Structure 1
Amino acid sequence: MATNKNQHFVPRCYLKAFTVGGENKAINLFNIDHGRYIPGAPVKHQCSGDYFYGQDEQLENAILSVEGAYETEAKTLVSGCRSLSKRAATVLRAFWVLQYLRTEAASIRSAQMSRQMADAIGEEAEDFALSIKDAVQLAMGAYVDSFRTTDDLGMCLVRNASGTPFITSDDPSILTNRWHFHRQWHLTRSFGLGSIGLIGLLPLGEELLCVLYDPEKYEIATTDGILDTACDQDVALLNEHQILNCHANLYVRSAGEQSIRSAVAFAQARRVYPRTEMVYAVRDGGDGDHVRYRVVKHKESEPHEDAIIHTRQIHAEPSDWPSFLRWKDCGYFFVPEDTSLRRDRNRQSP
């Protein structure tokens, strides 16, 4: 049985860099739903739940191992780093994947999607609907495969020399995709950890942020894996992802209440809810070799009718992208529907 009842889905070792005075006792937060700024909230009550991962001691120990490695590397990086080592990059990627999979917001999205499926299929599928706890434990089971999926990503650290501090949230590991939005694929498709053009973001502190990116689609000019920026606009655009992605709370260390309110007001209209969508199509004829399906509302279908159900996650599109994230000339990528390699000749701007 797990030894810790109160399990954090965003660990205190991560939030520490954003706490008041770096003491890991109190943290300033802004609640999106109520528009309320709360200074000095206790850290121990943030992003946690009783047996959030269940009571599997082996799973708990595996999570603590990843967190421990992150705590060691992050402390060194935040205190001042001149280069990004291979070990630090591996640890950051492992923590980013873990954090992406395990938050309450991620579990709610999975549970909502399974509920939509169960509702569409009918009462006989009720037992397949996931609870939030079921969803997070299922995600943890997929961690190793998810980590391997990201091993070809590039990584850099953005060192913030601007007057705008980085902020974080209760769902800090950002998965986004500039290429996906540029191609307008977001209108009908979603993307995931193995998609072309993936971008991952994780703030490490007010002055440091980790960027993972598809090296076949983008290029970032760095020195030993470090990019220095004094551009307030670039930092604001990176912070916008936290606002778009967070479940309920943003966390700040020194950013003032008014600056957070202004940033939230600017991004609020681009927040997406619900974060999942289901398309239901029923059989509508055919010619013998092919079957045709027609999209309908699932309540319009007949019981046990031949149908196709498609679910997808909906991602929020930011207002713009940081200036340092540039298109890579002549990148190669795989197009599933054509099962062929295509050469992309996008230049520095879309």
Structure 2
Amino acid sequence: MPEYKKQHYVPKFYLRFFTVEGSNKYIKLCIKESRQIIQKVDLEGQAQESYFYGKDLEREKWFGNIEDKTADVLNRVIQSRSLPKNKSVDYYWIWTFMLLQAYRTRANADEYNEMVDVSLKTVMRFEQQFANFEFDKHFFAYDDAIEKSLSILLKSLPIMMDMQIKLLENRTSKELITSDNPISKYNQFLEFRKFPYSHTGIASKGLQVFYPIAPDLMLVMYDPKVYKIGNKKQFSNILMNEEDVKNLNRLTSLHANKTLYSTDNVSDFQFEQILEGSNKFEAQRKLKTRQFNPVPIDGNTESIVVQNYRTPYMIKLNLSFVKQTQHAKSYQLSGYYAELRDERYRNPENRPTF
């Protein structure tokens, strides 16, 4: 097999944190759709596709360099059960790796192309030349959707600099699971406010990002203006209870694309419970289109604004370690179709340039 042909969108070093006892090569797998459970599968074939990032190997090698550094940092986190010093170089390796993981998977590529397809067809429907076009028989997509998605993320990283990371610890009898799309995004703040549009955009106020890194450890990235997690100087040893673990495993299941992973300490019955708990929410997340009234530009031209947004999962998430800040409690929603962490970005003149 050619070198670098198998390109993993969830790194093997990460999946090793969940391998079955006595092995660093095998992991337990649950297929989401069929609920088939396989007790031991080789890591080599998991969360990968042939030339997923392209045959030129440029992006694959770029990820490889980042993974080499981050693997060392995360191994130290797991061994010490503590985060690197806040805003240190190692801290930002974790910060960067979490965000990249959220935008490098098959699930993200499929979501990006769904947005492309819906957006293009929405525009085409306004053109008379496509009046007889059979939209249902065509799907518009980029072959390099991941590259385009990552490009947007990398240009947007400055918007994420205000997000804080802390380390949660699971000392319960139940283990955390992971998946082929291991980052879960949520927004308890906007859920509580019953905000009807997108909750988990890069700039969303109240954004939360969860990333299990071991059966007993999870990273959380969050909006510190909205949430209190531990005290100001406490970045590690923040305990989860059993209900927290159940809810976070449910989120992992919802965000999974096709497969869930765990150690062999997670029973088949526990997987069935996790899937049973998440299935009733699966239909919540949909791509929706909102069209605004045409605005005349001149006698022959109108401008039509169309907003595409993805409805969020809303599972009435309640986490014992999360409290809302006084700012969040007193905050009045802006009335815009996106609720932003930094209100300056509502004004186009103040939006950052990259």
The AA in structure 1 aligned to 2:65 is S
| Matching of residues 97-108 of structure 1 within 5 Å | 97-108=99-110
SS at match of 2:260: strand
Are 1:266 and 2:263 an aligned pair? Answer: no
Give the whole-Å Cα distance in 2 for the aligned partners of 1:200 and 1:145.
Answer: 19
1:136 maps to: 146
The AA in structure 1 aligned to 2:163 is L
Give the whole-Å Cα distance in 1 for the aligned partners of 2:284 and 2:112.
Answer: 14
Work out which of the residue numbers 187, 197, 204 in structure 1 matches 2:213: 204
Q: Would the aligned equivalents of 2:230 and 2:238 in 1 still touch at CA under 8 Å?
A: no
Give the whole-Å Cα distance in 2 for the aligned partners of 1:128 and 1:141.
Answer: 22
Gaps of 5+ in 2: 345-354
Q: Structure 1, residues 154-213: CA drift from partner, whole Å, max 9, x if none?
A: 11101111111111111111221111211111x234431111111011000001100111
Q: Would the alpha carbon gap of residues 273 and 137 (structure 1) be closer, same or farther in structure 2, given more than 3 Å must change? A: farther
Give the whole-Å Cα distance in 1 for the aligned partners of 2:101 and 2:271.
Answer: 23
The AA in structure 2 aligned to 1:113 is M
Q: Would the aligned equivalents of 2:285 and 2:313 in 1 still touch at CA under 8 Å?
A: no
Q: Would the aligned equivalents of 1:16 and 1:22 in 2 still touch at CA under 8 Å?
A: no
1:148 maps to: 158
Answer 1 or 2: higher relative contact order, Cα 8 Å, separation at least 6: 2
SS at match of 1:61: helix
Q: Structure 1, residues 211-250: CA drift from partner, whole Å, max 9, x if none?
A: 1110000001156411342511111111111011111111
TM-score by length of 1: 0.82
1:28 maps to: 28
Once the 2 structures are TM-superposed, how far is the Cα of residue 48 of structure 1 from its aligned partner?
Answer: 0.6
SS at match of 2:237: strand
Give the whole-Å Cα distance in 1 for the aligned partners of 2:22 and 2:153.
Answer: 30
| Matching of residues 55-204 of structure 1 within 5 Å | 55-85=55-85, 86-122=88-124, 129-131=140-142, 133-185=143-195, 187-204=196-213
Once the 2 structures are TM-superposed, how far is the Cα of residue 275 of structure 1 from its aligned partner?
Answer: 3.5
Are 1:314 and 2:311 an aligned pair? Answer: yes
2:259 maps to: 249
Q: Would the alpha carbon gap of residues 61 and 148 (structure 1) be closer, same or farther in structure 2, given more than 3 Å must change? A: farther
Gaps of 5+ in 1: 290-303, 343-350
2:322 maps to: 325
TM-score by length of 2: 0.81
SS at match of 2:162: coil
Q: Would the aligned equivalents of 2:228 and 2:325 in 1 still touch at CA under 8 Å?
A: yes
Q: Would the alpha carbon gap of residues 242 and 66 (structure 1) be closer, same or farther in structure 2, given more than 3 Å must change? A: same
Give the whole-Å Cα distance in 2 for the aligned partners of 1:108 and 1:152.
Answer: 28
Q: Would the aligned equivalents of 1:97 and 1:146 in 2 still touch at CA under 8 Å?
A: no
Q: Structure 1, residues 101-156: CA drift from partner, whole Å, max 9, x if none?
A: 1110011011011111222333879999323x421110122342233222111111
Once the 2 structures are TM-superposed, how far is the Cα of residue 21 of structure 1 from its aligned partner?
Answer: 2.7
Q: Would the aligned equivalents of 1:118 and 1:128 in 2 still touch at CA under 8 Å?
A: no
SS at match of 2:144: helix
SS at match of 2:225: coil
Q: Would the alpha carbon gap of residues 90 and 129 (structure 1) be closer, same or farther in structure 2, given more than 3 Å must change? A: same
1:278 maps to: 289
SS at match of 1:34: coil
SS at match of 1:197: coil
After the TM superposition, which of the residue ranges 24-33 and 212-221 deviates more from structure 2? 24-33
Give the whole-Å Cα distance in 2 for the aligned partners of 1:265 and 1:32.
Answer: 11
User: What is the number of equivalent residue pairs in this alignment?
Assistant: 323
Q: Would the alpha carbon gap of residues 250 and 341 (structure 1) be closer, same or farther in structure 2, given more than 3 Å must change? A: closer
Give the whole-Å Cα distance in 1 for the aligned partners of 2:20 and 2:6.
Answer: 22
Q: Would the alpha carbon gap of residues 270 and 281 (structure 1) be closer, same or farther in structure 2, given more than 3 Å must change? A: same
Q: Would the aligned equivalents of 1:197 and 1:213 in 2 still touch at CA under 8 Å?
A: yes
Give the whole-Å Cα distance in 2 for the aligned partners of 1:54 and 1:22.
Answer: 35
Q: CA RMSD in A?
A: 3.2
Once the 2 structures are TM-superposed, how far is the Cα of residue 58 of structure 1 from its aligned partner?
Answer: 3.1
Q: Structure 1, residues 246-280: CA drift from partner, whole Å, max 9, x if none?
A: 11111111211101111210221011366422234
Q: Would the alpha carbon gap of residues 53 and 158 (structure 1) be closer, same or farther in structure 2, given more than 3 Å must change? A: same
The AA in structure 1 aligned to 2:266 is A
Q: Would the alpha carbon gap of residues 326 and 60 (structure 1) be closer, same or farther in structure 2, given more than 3 Å must change? A: same
Q: Would the alpha carbon gap of residues 268 and 22 (structure 1) be closer, same or farther in structure 2, given more than 3 Å must change? A: farther
1:297 maps to: none
Give the whole-Å Cα distance in 1 for the aligned partners of 2:302 and 2:218.
Answer: 50
Once the 2 structures are TM-superposed, how far is the Cα of residue 98 of structure 1 from its aligned partner?
Answer: 0.5
Q: Would the aligned equivalents of 2:188 and 2:317 in 1 still touch at CA under 8 Å?
A: no
Q: Would the alpha carbon gap of residues 12 and 307 (structure 1) be closer, same or farther in structure 2, given more than 3 Å must change? A: same
Question: Could you say which structure has the higher strand fraction?
Answer: 1
Query: What percent identity do the matched residue pairs reach?
Result: 21
SS at match of 1:99: helix
The AA in structure 1 aligned to 2:68 is G
Give the whole-Å Cα distance in 1 for the aligned partners of 2:308 and 2:257.
Answer: 21
